[in-house]
Amino acid sequence: MNLIILKPNKENLQTYLVLGIVFLSIGFIDIISNSFLNFNITGFLPSIISYLSPLILGILGLHFIRIEYSGNKTLDQINKNLNSSNINAILSLIVIFILIKYVPSLLNWAFFDANFLGNTKEDCTGNGACWVFVKVWFNRFMYGMYPDAEQWRINTSFLVLFGSIVSIFVLPNKFKKYIILFLLFIFPIIALNLISGGIFGLKWIETGAWGGLSLTFIVSAFALIFCFPIGVFLALGRRSDLPAIKYSSIGFIELWRGVPLITVLFMSAVMFPMFLPDGTYMDKLMRVIIAITLFEAAYMAEVVRGGLQALPRGQYDAAKSLGMGYWRMHFLIIMPQALKLVIPGIANTFLALVKDTPLIFVVGLLELAGMIGLAKTNPEWLGMATEGYVFAAFVFWIICFSMSRYSQNLEKKLSTER
Amino acid sequence: MNLKTFSLDLKNKKRLIPQVLTLLFIVLLISYFTFNAQVNMDNRGIAFGFGFLTQEASFDIGFSLIDYDGSRSYARAFLVGLLNTLLVSVIGIIIATLIGVTVGIGRLSSNYLVAKFAEVYVEIFRNIPLLLQLFFWYFAALRALPLPEQAMNFNDISYLTVKGWYVPKFIWTNFSIFIYSVIAAFIAIIFVSKHAKKQREEFGKHIPSFYIGITLLFALPFLSFLIGGVELEFEIPVLKQMSATIFNFRGGVSIIPELMALAMALSMYTATFIAENVRAGILGVGKGQKEAAASIGLTKAQILKLVVLPQALRIIIPPTTNQYLNLTKNSSLAAAIAYPDIVLVFAGTALMQTGRAIEIVSITMGTYLLLSLSISSFMNWYNQSVAIKEK
């Protein structure tokens, strides 16, 4: 037999394979018994070797099965993707060991040992997560202090918003314009009046009671609707050849982009009231939406400017040669093309906006993260911070991940269309 | 610009009117706000001014890099906050770069598991709001650490507890000489590399400037210990019993949990964006470049150093600086977990005590604006200096 330990070859494929699998399985048995049975089968060795033994055994095992063009498809796949060199073998083993060590305990905490039944903290008896907390507070997490009986108003507003966005994609182009106009100008007024009430016999609900995830959506939807036109005008201003307009736009954009949102919110809370005439009062939520709108408008302006810059000069020249003026050229020729280019950028800005909304806690508005902060300090539910924040993180992750995937797909689609 | 031509030329009027209107609008808006602010402040009996900065602050700050107590001025409190902001930003930037570069390269690994692992990391941490991650680390993860008496022990020199991370304190004698030796080493390195470049370009001689540089960097500070009279001692934290049931560590340096949570959240979050930049940068270097370099006989290390990295860095650096700026701005979330940064100390406590909203908010925003503008103008200068000079 021509067995060379250092250089596994194809002639003795079977032997090497058996040898490698034996080493690998001893390594895996070692780490599994270590993690779950609290028993160290290599305990007789010096501590550092015993600690590293699964890794050493694994590397040896993987070394033996690293045979190029063995003819065995599975083996070739494994070698190509996980085991192409000693360094890759070590990395693969480390990743696998981390997964073996932490994933089961994570699953146990979140699902198998978790408590789903019951209505009080005392019902949580296992070692796992206490999802009862989330279940009991779910309504508050979604709607804040908004009265239960009136929650249909928030739901209706969001259904209308969702419905009109879907209809933009479904209905023929003829109606698109009207739906967008409706969304930009009429819907905000209807939704605001429906949610706050005070007219048509609807009960008045002050903005202090608004909260939870719905507030996240209210703030980000309104800020998006308002920041879009401002951003478009700022982008045009920044590219203008009139110096006064150009430099005031640059100044405005760079001012907002240079400061953190939290200081802008502070400004809206403590400094802005000083600038209003004595005796006038502006609602806290309104001030926050204005602040976030101005802040995001600066970012939106940069996104739109990117689209404007990407358009070839010929488009401007062609429009001018048709005798179009500045506004007709921009709104009939340039903007429709530029905005189409930057749809992914707009989606990304909206994504950033949604991720920024939890910051409104600094002025005392409680959206999802803020409501969890409130719930975890409730004397009956102390020690539930982990469950609460994991739940909020999960909710935000679903929203943001799907949005980022959507914008990535759009980007791909648009880049191939051109 | 000549005003006369403006008033006479009809074509220029078309340019003049919108500009005048814009300026008029801005001036009117500002004067309206100023007038209201004046009335409001008169009614409340406050006079606008920055004189309060020299007054006694009379509040304490839990964590400070410089000497501070309640008898110091508001200006000093501002400085403490600013330094704390800079501290957490620098720590965050270093860790975020390390994680980001590792994960970014990992995403391009030929190893399926490593690439997938890196991708999952990026997708999870990029899509959760930073504030939630911060809350998670601070209220959930770090609160689960053991009490001082059962502290996690790292080789008897460092201890991790729920009250913070205790590490040995460096006690220097003649610290300034040590710093001078480090500076001298850097100056020597610059000279050596310039000389090496000259030799290489004029005579084709190769001088191993990299190894000489590393030797210098260690040798000069080492010499300062031998003959410069520099000494370094460590003060190791020790567990002391405060009362019957309360234990705590004394001595050493305590890294407070707020700082740990903030640095962790900032760096884990920003690292995802840096990883994407690194990935885009490496993918952006054409395959032909590497093949061309290999075909003229460069070694693998030379290809990486002379061909791939210079081109990849040109793609990576501008968006990464943007991320560094974002990290610095995001460090203002410190206010949410009571880490005494500039927002919490100045726009929080100091504003509450003095009631001077306009001055304090403007100083805070101005500081951030100055930070951002100086970093971005430095980066613009740097970008221009590394940009490809087309002939």
Kindly report the nearest CA distance between residue B318 and chain A, in angstroms: 16
- State residue B7's pLDDT score: 45
Task: Tell me what percent of the residues of chain A surpass a pLDDT of 90.
Answer: 8
Q: Are A355 and B129 in contact (CB < 8 Å)?
A: yes
Question: Residue B9: what pLDDT?
Answer: 47
Q: Which residues of chain B neighbour A373 with C-beta distances below 8 Å?
A: 135
A vs B: CB pairs below 8 A: 156
Model confidence at A4, pLDDT cuts 50, 70, 90, reads: low
pLDDT at site B389: 62
In the prediction, which pLDDT does B295 show?
A: 93
Q: Distance (Å, rounded) from C-alpha B199 to C-alpha B208?
A: 11
Q: Tell me, what amino acid is at A301?
A: A
CA separation for the pair B256, B390 (Å, rounded)? 51
Q: Do B127 and A397 touch (CB under 8 A)?
A: yes
* Model confidence pLDDT, tens digit, residues A322-335: 988 888 888 888 88
Dmax over Cα atoms in chain B, in whole Å?
A: 91
CB atoms within 10 A of CB A173: 7
pLDDT digits (tens, 9 = 90+) for B157-179: 788 888 888 888 777 777 788 88
For chain A, the structural domain boundaries read 13-112, 132-146+205-417
CB neighbours of residue B71 within 10 Å: 9
**pLDDT for residue B199:** 85
pLDDT of residue B368: 92
Average pLDDT score, chain B: 84
Q: What is the pLDDT of residues A107-149, one digit of tens each?
A: 888 877 777 777 777 777 777 777 878 777 888 888 877 777 7
Q: What is the pLDDT of residue A6?
A: 63
Local confidence band at A201 (pLDDT 50, 70, 90 cut-offs): low
**Residue-level pLDDT at B128:** 92
B110:A81 CB<8 A: yes
CB atoms within 10 A of CB A301: 26
* Residue B60 CA, distance from chain mean position: 25
B26 lies within 8 A of chain A by CB: yes
Report the residue count for chain B: 391
Quick: pLDDT tens for B53-78. 778 777 888 787 787 887 888 888 89
Q: Do B128 and A262 touch (CB under 8 A)?
A: no
- For the stretch B220-253, pLDDT in tens is 878 887 877 777 777 777 777 777 777 777 777 7
Name the residue with higher pLDDT: A243 or B228: A243
Confidence check: pLDDT of B12 > 60: yes
Residue in B361, B362, B370 to test binding to A, most A beta-carbons within 10 Å: B361
**pLDDT score at A31:** 81
Chain B, window 348-377: residues with a beta carbon less than 8 angstroms from a chain A beta carbon: 351, 357-358, 361-362, 364-365, 368-369, 372-373
A244 touches chain B (CB under 8 A): yes
Q: Are B121 and B105 in contact (CB under 8 A)?
A: no
Among the residues of chain B, which ranges form H helices? Answer: 3-8, 10-44, 74-107, 112-126, 130-135, 175-203, 209-226, 257-284, 287-295, 300-302, 309-330, 342, 351-354, 357-386
Nearest to B331 by CA among B254, B269, B273: B269
Q: B18 CB near a chain A CB, below 8 Å?
A: yes
What is the pLDDT averaged over residues A31-59?
77
Closest CB from B113, B347, B373 relative to A258: B373
Q: Are the CB atoms for A191 and A157 separated by under 8 Å?
A: yes
Q: Chain A residue closest to B24 (CA)? A: A244
> What pLDDT, on the 0 to 100 scale, is given for residue B11?
59
Is the minimum CB–CB distance between A158 and chain B shorter than 8 Å? no
Chain A 171-210, residues with CB within 8 Å of chain B CB atoms = none
Residues of A in contact with B36 (CB under 8 A): 274-278
Do the chains contact at B117 and A404, CB–CB below 8 Å? Answer: no
- State the pLDDT at residue A417: 56
Among A8-12, A43-47, B8-12, B78-82, which stretch is predicted with the lowest mean pLDDT?
B8-12
- pLDDT given at position B63: 80
Higher pLDDT, B29 or B15: B29
Task: List beta partners, residue B253.
Answer: B167
Neighbours of B15 (CB within 10 A): 17
Task: Please tell me which of the candidates A243, A257, A271 has its beta carbon nearest to residue B358.
Answer: A271
Task: Tell me, yes or no, if B109 comes closer than 8 A to chain A by beta carbon.
Answer: yes
Give per-residue pLDDT as tens, B303-319: 888 888 888 888 888 88
Residue type at A20 in one-letter notation? G
Instruction: List phi, psi (to 5°) of A83.
Output: -140, 40
Q: A301, A235 in Cβ contact below 8 A?
A: yes
Lowest mean pLDDT among A322-336, B184-198, B246-260, B366-380: B246-260
The alpha carbons of chain B give a radius of gyration, in whole angstroms, of 27
pLDDT > 70 fraction of chain B, expressed in percent and rounded: 95
pLDDT digits (tens, 9 = 90+) for B84-142: 999 999 999 999 999 999 999 898 888 889 999 999 999 999 999 999 999 989 988 88
CA of B293: how far to CAs of A9, B210, B300, B302, in Å? 33, 21, 9, 9
Alpha helices in A197-279 (DSSP H): 212-238, 243-258, 261-266, 272-275
How distant is the Cα of B59 from the closest Cα of chain A, in angstroms? 21
CB of A404 within 8 Å of any CB in chain B?
yes
At B23, which amino acid appears? L
Give B-chain residues touching A254 at CB under 8 angstroms. 373
Long-range contacts of B111-118 (CB under 8 A, 24+ apart): B111/A81, B111/A82, B111/A84, B111/A88, B111/A91, B111/A92, B112/A81, B112/A82, B113/A81, B113/A82, B113/A91, B113/A92, B113/A95, B113/A96, B114/A88, B114/A91, B114/A92, B114/A95, B117/A95, B118/B275
CA-based nearest residue in chain A for residue B367: A259
pLDDT digits (tens, 9 = 90+) for A366-399: 888 888 888 888 877 787 888 888 888 999 999 9
State residue B82's pLDDT score.
92
* A171 to chain B, closest Cα gap in Å: 31
Q: Specify whether the CB–CB gap between B161 and B148 falls below 8 A.
A: yes
Q: Which residues contact B339 (CB under 8 A, 6 or more apart)?
A: B63, B84, B88, B256, B258, B259, B261, B262
The helix (H) or strand (E) run that includes residue A37 is: none
Which residues of chain A have a CB within 8 Å of the CB of B18? 242, 245
Q: Which amino acid is at B256?
A: I
CA-to-CA distance for A321 and A28, rounded, in angstroms? 74
At A5 the pLDDT is 61
* Cα separation, A17 vs A21, whole angstroms: 6
For chain A, percent of residues with pLDDT exceeding 70 = 96
> Which residue in chain A has the smallest CA separation from B1?
A243
What pLDDT was estimated at residue A1?
A: 44
Among A35-44, A242-251, A359-368, B221-230, where is mean pLDDT lowest? A35-44
CA-nearest of B251, B279, B371, B133 to A397 is: B133
CA distance B15 to A34: 78
How many angstroms separate the most distant Cα atoms in chain A? 99
Average pLDDT over residues A26-46: 77
Superfamily of domain A132-146+205-417: MetI-like (1.10.3720.10)
CA distance B389 to B306: 17
Distance between CA atoms of residues A174 and A180, nearest Å: 11
| pLDDT confidence tier of residue B8, bands split at 50, 70 and 90 | very low
pLDDT at B303: 85
Q: Interior CA angle at A192 toward A189 and A194, to 5°? A: 105
Q: How many CA atoms lie within 13 A of B31 on its CB side?
A: 6
